[in-house]
Amino acid sequence: MQRYFIPAENWAADTVSIFGDDVHHMTRVMRFKEGDKVICNRPDGKAAICVIRTLDPDHISAAIVEWLNETVELPVNVTIAQGLPKGDKIDFVLQKGTELGAAGFIPFQSERSIVVWDKKKTEKKLNRFAKLVKEASEQSHRNKIPVIHPLVNMDGLIRESNNYNMLLFAYEEEAKVTAYQSFAKAVKSLGRNQNVLVCIGPEGGFSANEAETLKANGFSPVRLGPRILRTETASLYVLASISYHLEELGCE
Amino acid sequence: MQRYFIPAENWAADTVSIFGDDVHHMTRVMRFKEGDKVICNRPDGKAAICVIRTLDPDHISAAIVEWLNETVELPVNVTIAQGLPKGDKIDFVLQKGTELGAAGFIPFQSERSIVVWDKKKTEKKLNRFAKLVKEASEQSHRNKIPVIHPLVNMDGLIRESNNYNMLLFAYEEEAKVTAYQSFAKAVKSLGRNQNVLVCIGPEGGFSANEAETLKANGFSPVRLGPRILRTETASLYVLASISYHLEELGCE
């Protein structure tokens, strides 16, 4: 069943009001009619089967018929801090990271980031990103939309890190070490609903200076397998592995 | 150090001969000079540090100075059979799958594949793919280049499946089941150097008919976490999870 994320203010006791792009999608793309059913998600993760009652060009009203008792959210909250990569690779990280269950994303301006986002560019991008993660959440049947945090530099990242129970960063130098298991040890030690922040460097990785700063501020370096991953692949490895360990292997 | 995959016939006892695109890359992109060092990989996975002795416009000769005792290959051979997806998503699967350690790829024409590759198209594509996986192997410091198998239909896939120790397919219906662990159980039971074939459907997944055929021929359905993944993300989940389990968690 098609799924839509509806802002909190559009939920009444037994009806949901749908506006904007979702109306376009429901009438023009899906060609829904009165009586058709969709799943509507509330921002708090709750979801309900709703039946469409009225369709106007700018407003659809749907009646809540059944609250769902489902959850497909990861048992831990994984936020990815992504060093700004080149081109549109960040779109890829957001889309795939959302599919794989990320709780949030922090774009950060790293020493080796070649691109620089000015204020205007950042605002425009953040709007586009919000749409991208909403659509990816709907497609992957998520209960929640990941949060996109404001752009930070290293100082901002360190400040933000106080909100997390576990701090990790992917360090290429670690990939070359035969002694491994630091990432797996970290995943094993995770408790339900803990907040994990995983930092990924841009192309070229973290500078030695950045790695020192991260370590000094409580971040542990981890390797993500022995092969060298591109910057846009690293967060996927992290999220797939955490899903595998906690949702498939059942080692929680 | 920059890494190049050199065909078997270009290796002598103590020198390596380099031709074609690699010469262009070494002279024009990397601007190497006499005395510079590179890593050369043999198709069998062995690698050596080599020092450049002579540079001609169409031929570079390098002396083998040290054989490396390294391996970054997955301890099992994972081949991904990918139902032909839309657009250039197959490029993405090949590039990311190579980074994540795939042993090979089988493109297959699935019932719900919207694209159809004719003979001419397939030939052209396979050439491009060979270049793509070679470059991705070099970048991720692989010891081996994944094999790209010819395009098959379901009958061909079933015939090919005789060459593997374990047969799995990602089935969307399984993602909706709360009882899980079939994928993890499979990964746990893998022995070193075993050959695993994992089939991924195109957009829209496998038809019920295809799922029945796969099951009847020894393929086990697995879920890859409870969220619905796009076709191009599924193989990444498989490879990252297998790497995590065998290379990081150390459960081998």
pLDDT tens, residue by residue, A66-102: 998 878 899 999 999 999 999 989 999 999 999 999 9
Report the C-alpha gap between A74 and A84 in whole angstroms: 25
* Residue in B closest to A93 by C-alpha: B233
pLDDT at A252: 44
Contact A180, B248 (CB under 8 A): yes
- A-chain residues near B243 (CB < 8 A): 224-225, 227, 237, 241
Q: What is the mean pLDDT of residues A114-126?
A: 85
Q: Taking a C-beta distance cutoff of 8 angstroms, is the pair B183, B241 a contact?
A: yes
Q: Where do the domains of chain A lie? A: 3-68, 77-248
Q: Is the pLDDT of residue A178 over 60?
A: no
Q: What is the DSSP letter of A38?
A: E
ipTM: 0.86
Q: Which whole number is the average pLDDT over B222-234?
A: 93
**pLDDT category of residue B175 using cuts at 50, 70 and 90:** low
Average of per-residue pLDDT values in chain A: 92
In what order do the strands lie in the sheet containing B37-41? B3-5, B37-41, B47-56, B59-68, B15-18
Chain B neighbors of A248, CB-CB under 8 A: 180-181, 183-184, 223-225, 241
Mean pLDDT for B54-82 is 93
The topology (CATH level 3) of A77-248 is Alpha/beta knot (3.40.1280)
pLDDT band (50, 70, 90) for residue A215: very high
* Contact between B241 and A236 using a beta-carbon 8 Å cutoff: no
Please name the amino acid found at residue A175.
Answer: A
- As a whole number of angstroms, the distance between CA B213 and CA B209 comes to 6
Q: Residue A229 pLDDT > 70, yes or no? A: yes
- 3-class secondary-structure state, position B167: strand
Mean predicted lDDT score pLDDT of chain B: 92
Q: Where are the alpha helices (DSSP H) in A60-106?
A: 89-99
Burial A159-168 (b: 16+ CB within 10 A, else e): ebbeebebbb
Determine the average pLDDT of the residues in B46-59.
Answer: 94
Mutate to test the interface with A, among B237, B242, B246, B252 (most CBs of A within 10 A): B237
CB B38 within 8 A of CB B27: no
pLDDT reading at B180 higher than 90: no
Instruction: Identify the pLDDT of residue A45.
Output: 82
Q: Which residues pair with B196 in a beta bridge?
A: B78, B166
Q: Which CATH superfamily is domain B77-249 in?
A: SPOUT methyltransferase, trefoil knot domain (3.40.1280.10)
CB pairs under 8 A between A and B: 122
The mean pLDDT of B168-188, rounded to a whole number, is 79
Chain A neighbors of B184, CB-CB under 8 A:
244, 248-250
SS3 at position A199: strand
Pick from B223, B236, B250: which is nearest to A180 by CB?
A: B250
Residue B178 has pLDDT above 70, yes or no: no
Residue A235: the pLDDT is: 97
Mutate to test the interface with A, among B3, B99, B200 (most CBs of A within 10 A): B99
Report the residue from A100, A180, A249 with minimal CB separation from B247: A180
CA distance A225 to chain B (A): 6
The model's pLDDT over B132-155, given as tens digits with 9 standing for 90+, comes to: 999 999 999 899 999 999 999 999
Could you check whether A3-68 and A77-248 share the same CATH topology?
no
The answer to whether A108 and A83 are in contact (CB under 8 A) is yes
Instruction: Check residue A80 and give left, alpha or beta (phi > 0: left; psi -120 to 50: alpha).
Output: beta
| Contact at CB, A250 and B99, closer than 8 angstroms | no
Residue pair B40/B138 in contact (Cβ under 8 Å)? The answer is no
Q: Percentage of chain B with pLDDT > 90? A: 77
Q: Which CATH class is domain B3-68?
A: mainly beta
Contacts of A212 (CB under 8 A, 6+ apart): none
Would the CB atoms of A227 and B101 count as touching at under 8 Å?
yes
Chain-chain contact of A100 with B226 (C-beta, under 8 angstroms): no
- pLDDT, residue A147, reads 96
Task: For residue A167, give the nearest of A213, A208, A233, A205 by alpha carbon.
Answer: A213
Running DSSP on this structure, what letter comes out for residue B146? Answer: P
Rounded CA separation B141/A117 (Å): 31
